[in-house]
Amino acid sequence: MQHEPARRSWAGNPLFQAAHRISSVINSARLKMARKTHFQPATVPYMGYGSTTQVRILARIMLAPRPIPGSKADRKAKAGNQNIRGWRAFTSVPIPEREVDIEIGDAAVRVTADRGGLVDTTVPVDLTPGWHTATIRASGTPSAKARVLVLEPGVRFGILSDIDDTVMVTALPRPLLAFWNAFVLNERARMATTGIAVLYERILRAHPGSPVFYLSTGPWNAAPTLDRFLHRNMYPQGPLLLTDWGLTEHRWFRSGPEHKHDNLELLAAEFPEVKWLLVGDNGQHDEAIYSAFARRHPENVAAVAIRQLSVGEAVLAGGHTPDVDHSGSEIPWVYAPDGAGLAEQLGQTGLL
């Protein structure tokens, strides 16, 4: 089951079809070139999640640069001490439509990666709560192990967090800065937002066993970098819900707001009894997306926490949304520039 939203389709448009053909030709040329150099087939597993009866498995099949054995890059990769410039995450070449076998517990399925090499599928299972391991095998590619979080059947609370300008200071919405952050900046130069990691730790102590999901419009190419960033800055581990850039089967470009909307709807359907603390910032669309979700699913929202950008951050981010009056809402909305301020206000709601 591929998670592709039902939207207006451009599939019958001749120009769109031509763009797909050109994209396929370019990717084929990149694959041929990559095979002639130090690239090797790889399956990149992403953290999955689910319930005791079904889990969502995420991975990508690609040709990736192979570090020269014994080189400085090879030693750092093995030690987990990479300090990689962003553009290197985009040098891999997706292998489209490769058959992939997935095994987890007693379940085994075969699926096909999409044209971007992405595997995003739901597998029926019979698992106990906690952490499990899925084995992912693509033909002609070494197998990989993906960690999968199975939620407790009785869980009633979770954190759904934005990444850019919420847990990590990026000023991403502005195109030039988006390019700089994504392609140029060393990954260790990215800065954690003050107090948010401590806030999440406190919330999880108050609600033990609750999951944390990180929802971002960033590309799957950046997932390993984001994982290392979250771990390095002591954020709680949890699945990343990212997207791809460029053409899809039905659209010219993936929509960031639609990506967030669709994943929120999916979580509401998968975990109807969970109330989410929605955490974002007032830089672009988070307030509108969370407000719309809260109107549709008030039973699934415990509170909304919005980090307020500083004047400088707002300028770099292309502005911020105007303050909205939520006094009539039954769902608590809290605003503060850092984790300490949000914690103080969330404490008044009873969540801390």
Same domain, 263 and 117: no
Same domain, 164 and 297: yes
Same domain, 130 and 212: no
Given 93, 116, 150, the domain boundary residue is 150
The identity of residue 296, as a single letter, is: R
Query: What letter would DSSP give residue 299?
Result: G
Question: What does pTM read for this prediction?
Answer: 0.82
Domain hosting 208: range is 157-349
Same domain, 134 and 167: no
Write out the chain's pLDDT in tens, 352 residues.
444 444 455 456 676 566 556 666 666 666 566 566 677 888 999 999 999 999 999 999 988 776 655 555 545 554 454 555 444 556 678 888 899 999 999 999 999 998 888 999 999 999 999 999 999 999 888 899 999 999 999 899 999 999 988 998 865 555 555 555 555 456 666 789 999 999 999 999 999 999 999 999 888 888 888 898 899 999 999 999 998 765 555 554 566 788 999 999 999 999 999 999 999 998 878 999 999 999 999 999 999 999 998 766 655 555 556 666 676 788 999 999 999 999 999 999 999 8
User: Angle between the 196-206 and 339-349 helix axes, to the nearest 10 degrees?
Assistant: 30
CATH classification of the domain holding 224: 3.40.50.1000
Q: Is residue 7 part of a domain?
A: no
Q: Is residue 6 part of a domain?
A: no
Same domain, 215 and 237: yes
Given 131, 150, 169, the domain boundary residue is 150
Nearest Cα to Cα of residue 234 among 276, 267, 262, 198: 198
Same domain, 194 and 257: yes
Contact 123, 102 (CB under 8 A): yes
Residues making up the chain, counted from first to last = 352
pLDDT (0 to 100) of residue 139:
85
Q: Is residue 32 part of a domain?
A: yes
What are phi and psi for residue 37, nearest 5 degrees? -115, -160
Parallel/antiparallel/unpaired status of strands 157-161 and 168-169: unpaired
How many domains does one find in the chain?
2
Nearest Cα to Cα of residue 281 among 320, 239, 318, 230: 320
Tell me the residue ranges of DSSP E strands in 34-113. Answer: 39-50, 54-65, 93-94, 99-104, 107-112
Parallel/antiparallel/unpaired status of strands 99-104 and 333-336: unpaired
Same domain, 325 and 184: yes
